[in-house]
Amino acid sequence: MEWAVIFEPDNLALFGNGIVITLWLLFASLAVGGVLALMFALMLTGPWAALRWVVGAYTFVIRGTPLLIQVYLIYYGLGQLEWIQARWDAVWPWTYFKEPFFCALLAFSLNTAGYTAEMLAGAIRETSAGEIEAAHAYGMSRVQTMWRVVLPSALRRTLPAYSNEVVMMLHATSLASAVPNMLDVTSAASRIYATYYLPFEAYLAAAAIYLTASFCLIGFFRFSEGRLLAYLAPRKH
């Protein structure tokens, strides 16, 4: 084992760079995916059958296919369509499709949106009837009930399941290394492996980084669950 190689300034910088990109990908895709998921969940539980059907089909496809295929489809696939090719040199949002970072981010966001939407929709459906009845009794409209009563409690109850999804997404960002010219933690390890032919050191270092990040995220969610779900805990007196 030659751990000294990992701790050379250049290679530490490579991993440091990788950590920044990985965290960027994680939080940006969670933010974009979260907003999409909320919209999708409202559509899934809403009164319009057509919307329910469309979003249902979307989550079925997203959850039934590997993320790697989704990344390839966006990075390689969309670039093949003439309609996009004609635009991606000049016309505004389409110029982004030339950038690997954007393509990875888009794939991750759409993916996490699919999983989170189903989770949220489940929590919304399972809101206890009494809470909704009470809101109606107070004279709240449908929108007000949703905004003031159903969503706050559903979002909190999704927290334990969502913490799994966040850790899964952290791991999923390692697929960014399948896109050329990306430099996340996994690609950093691959570069060090390719340069020094030291697979154990390179990939174990990457594994340690992901493990630390996973534990931090789990710790953060434990803490938030303790605070936000305190009202659901069994009575102590």
Partner 1 sequence: MQSYFWVILHGSLLTVGVSLLALLVSVIFGLAGAAAKLSGKPLLVGLATLYSTIIRGIPDLVLMLLVFYGGTIGINTLLEKLGSEATVDIEPFMAGVLTIGFIYGAYMTETFRGAILSIPKGQMEAAWAFGMSRFQTFLRITLPQMVRYALPGFTNNWLVLIKATALVSLIGLQEMTYLAKQASAATRSPFIFFMFTGALFLIYTSVSLFVLKKVNARYSLGTKRGQL
Phi-psi region of 220 (alpha: psi -120 to 50; beta: other; left: phi over 0): alpha
Measured from the CB atom, is 7 or 76 closer to partner 1? 76
- If one asks whether residue 3 binds partner 1 (CB under 8 A), the answer comes out as no
Distance CA 189, CA 177 (A): 10
Structure tokens at 71: 């990344």
Other CB atoms within a 10 A radius of the CB of residue 184 amount to 27
Structure tokens at 51: 């919307």
Measured from the CB atom, is 155 or 167 closer to partner 1? 167
- If one asks whether residue 5 binds partner 1 (CB under 8 A), the answer comes out as no
- Total residues contacting partner 1 by CB under 8 A comes to 42
**Given 81, 134, 229, 232, the residue binding partner 1 (CB under 8 A):** 81
Total residue count of the chain as it appears in this document: 237
CB of 46 to partner 1, least distance (A): 24
- If one asks whether residue 34 binds partner 1 (CB under 8 A), the answer comes out as no
CB of 80 to partner 1, least distance (A): 5
Structure tokens at 52: 């329910």
**Given 20, 31, 54, 73, the residue binding partner 1 (CB under 8 A):** 73
39, containing H or E segment: helix 9-45
Fill in the amino acid letter for 176: A
- If one asks whether residue 195 binds partner 1 (CB under 8 A), the answer comes out as no
Phi-psi region of 182 (alpha: psi -120 to 50; beta: other; left: phi over 0): beta
Question: What residues make contact with partner 1 under the rule CB under 8 A?
Answer: 60-61, 63-70, 72-73, 76-81, 167, 170-175, 177-178, 186, 189-190, 193, 197, 199-200, 203-204, 206-207, 210-211, 214-215
